[in-house]
Structure 1
Amino acid sequence: MTATPAYLSVRANFTNADYENVCDDFGGGFERLPAWRALGNLLAHRPGWHFDVANGGEAMWCLGFPGESGLAIHVNERLEYHCYDHGQDSDTVAADIPAVEAWLDGREDGARKPSALYIQLASDNRWRLLKAYQFPVQVSWSDGYFSATLPSLAEASFGITLSEAVDGACEMICRLVRAPVALAPELEPTLHLDKSASQQIRSV
């Protein structure tokens, strides 16, 4: 088996990952900050949306199954919202937040699901890419149960133990991409513990 190069284990972190700082540096500068703030207020707690820097250093909000970006929104130089739907290969310029909300109507559920191309690529070579991808899993704890969720989905897997919850999340991934559930133990989830989960683990 070929050893994994050391550089592939490196994870970069911004010195200052504050939302406004990243928007200032990668989102077009100080003049666009009010528009970025408004967009953040709309999407920050909307299921599945995440803020990222992609396309050679461009700040944007994205929604999609892990490893994909079904919908993407960024603020352009005219302080408008450039909205792109990858599934339909179409883009729209929205003048304000109500126009963004109108564009989102009816699009989000489909964008959270893996595309046919994703499923095809994931299944190649006996699901090699699926087993190699590090799926981000959010973990919380409440009322005696751990919950494990994929950022792109509203559904959660529950378990009395952390491993039960995470195993359920991996089985959910398999079902979503039409892979055999028996592959779940071979997936590589990357766990992100919130305060409640971290405190529960440390108290045991």
Structure 2
Amino acid sequence: MERNTSRPAFAALLPYVGAMAAIVIASNILVQHPFTPFGLGELLTWGAFTYPFAFLANDLANRRLGMSAARMVVAAGFLLAVILSIWLATPRIAIASGTAFAVAQILDLLIFDRMRMMTWWKAPLVSSIIASAIDTALFFRLAFAPSFGGIDRWFGMEDGSLGFPVVMFGYEMPLWVSLAIGDFLVKVLIGFVALLPYAGLLRLTAKTPAANEGRL
């Protein structure tokens, strides 16, 4: 079916922009707090459980309103999230988040757009997993690797790097690498889980012209 290429009304974008900004801001705050239950404080942060839903918001906007709308959602969500994250988190976290967000979300858009006519679950699952890998690598290196500790010092803040060694799966590695691995594994898991709300929201918003793209 021919995709929807008309310019969406601003009101139609608001729910997606709001969801995107809320998810990223919450994740930027939660990523600063280790997930301590079950002794996983050196493997996970709370942000790993919230950020994957940014891809859900992006993919829903892409599916329902088209590629141009999804780009606007990414751009607006990016600006709101980075500006507010500087205030609610730290400048270094905001820079890392903004860089990783922009690259990963654009990649997610491109992969989703190439796969959008396949069975409904393939595009959101594949695009979110690949984009999550890039997002995790960029974010944790910029936010917590000692090589980027100068960002904190430039803003007159204490170095927030997490370069001290921990043992994971029998191997010694920097804490930020351990957290990145745990973060990515959770993102993959949530990528599968998020297919359920994705399918439900897809049906709820099925009145838009793009509703028949894919097979659901």
Normalising to structure 1: TM-score of the pair? 0.27
Q: Which has the larger radius of gyration?
A: 1
Give 1 or 2: higher strand fraction: 1
Larger relative CO (CA 8 A, sep 6+): 1 or 2? 2
